[in-house]
Amino acid sequence: MSPNQTPVLADPVIDSRVPFPHTTLPLPCRTTPDLYRIEHLATRPELKRAMAKITLSCAGCPIVRDCLKFALANPELSSEGIWAATTPRQRKALRDRLVRRLGPDWVGVVAEREETARRRRQTARSAPAPRRDTAMAHLELESIPVRPAPYEPWREPLTDARRAQNRRLLEAALTHKAAKAA
């Protein structure tokens, strides 16, 4: 999202099925707005360099996926500027692809899928997993090799457990020697 493009939620053109996420986290396009001003760039290499920086910046944004979805679902609102490291042309291509894959009401399809996933997550949090699922989870865990890698004393930091074990071995050795010497 380019600077000064913060969506006004009361605006009737906004598709409420895919809302822009509310966040108090610092968004790169707001903290470094100059980076996102590319309108004055005249040459292709300049634009390319700027887009590389923007892509890196958006990649670190906590809401990048939702920002892109919002921009794609609201073509009028996002007809200009950079949103989630995409140019208007790239967004158009992405929209066309979504229409081909999910149909003309792709926004509805995406919103429905997200709602289903949200409900599933909610149910999983509030209801205990069925016994069969728990058994499957155990089986899956059992199939993962859990044996720790061999301890390499010269490479690994000394852990508390290893320190305690070393002390026990030392004490045992000393006691043994002392018993022999007596």
CB nearer to ligand SF4: pick between 65 and 138: 65
Hey, what amino acid is at 155?
A: R
Q: How far apart are CA 3 and CA 123, in angstroms?
A: 38
CB nearer to ligand SF4: pick between 18 and 63: 63
Q: 91-110: which residues touch ligand SF4 (CB under 6 A)?
A: none
Q: 21-40: which residues touch ligand SF4 (CB under 6 A)?
A: 27-29
CB nearer to ligand SF4: pick between 63 and 73: 63
Hey, what amino acid is at 147?
A: R
Quote the least distance from Cβ 34 to ligand SF4, whole Å: 13
CB nearer to ligand SF4: pick between 3 and 108: 3
By CB under 6 A, is residue 18 in contact with ligand SF4?
A: no
By CB under 6 A, is residue 14 in contact with ligand SF4?
A: no
Q: DSSP per residue over 108-126, as a string? A: HHHHHHHHHHHHHHHHHHH
Q: 131-170: which residues touch ligand SF4 (CB under 6 A)?
A: none
Torsion of CA 88, 89, 90, 94, to 10 degrees: 90
By CB under 6 A, is residue 63 in contact with ligand SF4?
A: yes
Q: How far apart are CA 80 and CA 59, in angstroms?
A: 20
Quote the least distance from Cβ 61 to ligand SF4, whole Å: 3
> Counting Cβ atoms within 10 Å, is residue 58 exposed (0-12), middle (13-18) or buried (19+)?
buried
Quote the least distance from Cβ 115 to ligand SF4, whole Å: 22
- Tokens representing 99? 């229409």
Hey, what amino acid is at 2?
A: S
Quote the least distance from Cβ 50 to ligand SF4, whole Å: 13
CA angle 64, 69, 73 (to 5 degrees): 150
Q: How far apart are CA 177 and CA 126, in angstroms?
A: 60
**Total site size for ligand SF4, rule CB under 6 A:** 11
In the complex, the residues that contact ligand SF4 under the rule CB under 6 A are 1, 27-29, 58, 61, 63-64, 67, 83-84
